[in-house]
Amino acid sequence: MRALSGALVVSVLLGASVQTAALSAEQPLVELEHVTIFVRDYDEALQWYVERLGFIKIEDQQFGPQQRWVTVAPSRNADTHIVLAVPGETLRGSIGHQHNWVFRTGDCRAAHLSLSARGVRFVAEPQNLPWGCQAIIEDLYGNRIVVRGPLLEAAR
């Protein structure tokens, strides 16, 4: 079990597996482990990420009065997990103000259709950009998540 202090825990989640590199003086930070998304309610957020996005609950442990360590990931094999955290009073204004976590997909259009069918709200439809196809979804709190993949076939 991990304990959270008053400091902001930096923790989002990438669908692709990353091999862990050896730590060195030249490259001490080798991979992203967690990304935190502030939410109003643990259970409500957990339900949305699991049912709407199809993520898997990785951990859900009580560690203090009204505090839990709740993480989700797009797959059990993901190296990076999203921490769903209910912030203390001083950080409540941060809910819904985190933007542009990027998730890779093999087919942006198919991801859009699948997620839309689950009731996920897109604030930007799939479109080809110089770096590939991109769409933007918004979770139930207003956090924005980018879905990025290869260029759409019709526009190549």
pLDDT value at position 56?
97
Q: What is the DSSP string of 80-101?
A: -EEEEE---GGGGGGTT----E
**How many Cα atoms are found within 13 Å in the side-chain-facing hemisphere of 77?**
5
Measured torsion, CA atoms of residues 118, 81, 79, 101, in degrees rounded to the nearest 10: 70
CB atoms near residue 2 (< 10 Å): 12
SS3 call for 34:
strand
Q: Which pLDDT does position 27 carry in this prediction?
A: 60
Radius of gyration of the chain (CA): 16
**Weakly modelled stretches of the chain, pLDDT under 50:** 1-23, 155-156
Domains and CATH numbers, the chain: 1-19+28-88 (3.10.180.10), 101-155 (3.10.180.10)
Contact assessment for residue 4 and residue 63, using Cβ atoms and an 8 Å cutoff: yes
Judge if pTM exceeds 0.85. no
